[in-house]
Amino acid sequence: MDLQEIKRLIYRGEGDKIEFKHKGSHPEKVIREVVAFANASGGHLIIGVDDDGRISGLKYADDDHYLLNKAIEELCRPVISYTSEIIPISEKRSIIHYHIHEGEEKPYYAFLNKKHRFGKAFVRVEDRSVQASPEIRKILKLTQHSNGAHIAYGNHEQALFNYLKDHDDITINRYRQVTGLEQKEASELFIRLVLANLLKIIPQEKEDLFVAVEE
């Protein structure tokens, strides 16, 4: 991708498929974006660009590129497929462009240290990357190995969709208050309904929202 092509990409602004970072000297802040794109449908990460789209560039792009590649390879699991390139913007400054491919082994996790056993999964919500809930992680995993789920429509399902007739969305905790269902049972019910394409999950930083899928 040449400079003019990358400028057109930058002009579109940040969104669910584009993320800007002012600098790359803190790889731990970058890998969460990489993981979020891999857990979605892929995206573009551009280092050396401010949030408002101003191209500031990097003075030591080669060093940043090396550190970021090392972090992606060591701190993201499973292995994430990506391409990267350094694009000069002047004699002394460059930007780094990463094209993160959609993963085939979701969910993907970011680790603070390569020796850590447990990492955090992130997903993309508009122009932000948020930590994935247990429900999202399970949905990401099951979606790749499932052709949908069969639902037995009972009292719990009826209570949920009756609620959604009068409300725009619902959370698992709100549903539990209405029905008295235990956390594990409620979570599994919502996951099944998402896999059956009857509910849509909207990731949030605190608690995911669920909405009915319109027919």
**Cα gap 2→25, rounded to integer Å:** 23
If we measure between CA atoms, which residue out of 179, 198, 27, 8 comes closest to residue 113? 27
pLDDT tens, 177-206?
999 999 999 999 999 999 999 999 999 999
N- to C-terminal Cα distance for the chain?
A: 41
Residue 113 is which amino acid?
A: N
Q: Do residues 25 and 109 both lie within one domain?
A: yes
If we measure between CA atoms, which residue out of 152, 131, 139, 113 comes closest to residue 33? 131
Residue 207 is which amino acid?
A: E
Q: Do residues 24 and 122 both lie within one domain?
A: yes
Q: Are 60 and 33 in contact (CB under 8 A)?
A: no
Q: What total of structural domains would you count in the chain?
A: 2
Whether 148 shows a pLDDT value over 80: the answer reads no
Q: Which DSSP string corresponds to 188-200? A: HHHHHHHHTTSEE
pLDDT for 115: 75
- Look up the domain containing 160 and give its range: 138-212
Q: Do residues 75 and 152 both lie within one domain?
A: no
Q: Do residues 30 and 127 both lie within one domain?
A: yes
Residue whose tokens read 């990460």: 45
pLDDT for 149: 60
Q: Do residues 107 and 171 both lie within one domain?
A: no
Using DSSP bridges, classify how beta strands 94-100 and 82-88 pair: parallel, antiparallel or unpaired: antiparallel
Whether 94 shows a pLDDT value over 80: the answer reads yes
Whether 85 shows a pLDDT value over 70: the answer reads yes
Q: Do residues 126 and 168 both lie within one domain?
A: no
pLDDT for 214: 83
pLDDT above 90 covers a percentage of the chain that reads 86
Q: How many CB atoms lie within 10 A of CB 114?
A: 11
Q: What is residue 34's DSSP assignment?
A: H
Q: Do residues 120 and 23 both lie within one domain?
A: yes
pLDDT for 113: 78
Q: Do residues 116 and 144 both lie within one domain?
A: no
pLDDT tens, 95-141?
999 999 999 999 999 998 777 788 999 999 999 999 999 999 999 99
Confidence grade of residue 172 (pLDDT, cut at 50, 70, 90):
very high
**Cα gap 1→9, rounded to integer Å:** 10
160: CATH: 1.10.10.10
| pLDDT, mean of residues 10-27 | 93
Q: Do residues 152 and 61 both lie within one domain?
A: no
- Provide CB contacts within 8 A for 9, sequence distance 6+: 1, 18, 44, 46
| pLDDT, mean of residues 210-215 | 89
Confidence grade of residue 147 (pLDDT, cut at 50, 70, 90):
low
119: CATH: 3.30.950.30
pLDDT for 28: 85
Whether 144 shows a pLDDT value over 80: the answer reads no
Q: Do residues 148 and 114 both lie within one domain?
A: no
Whether 150 shows a pLDDT value over 70: the answer reads no
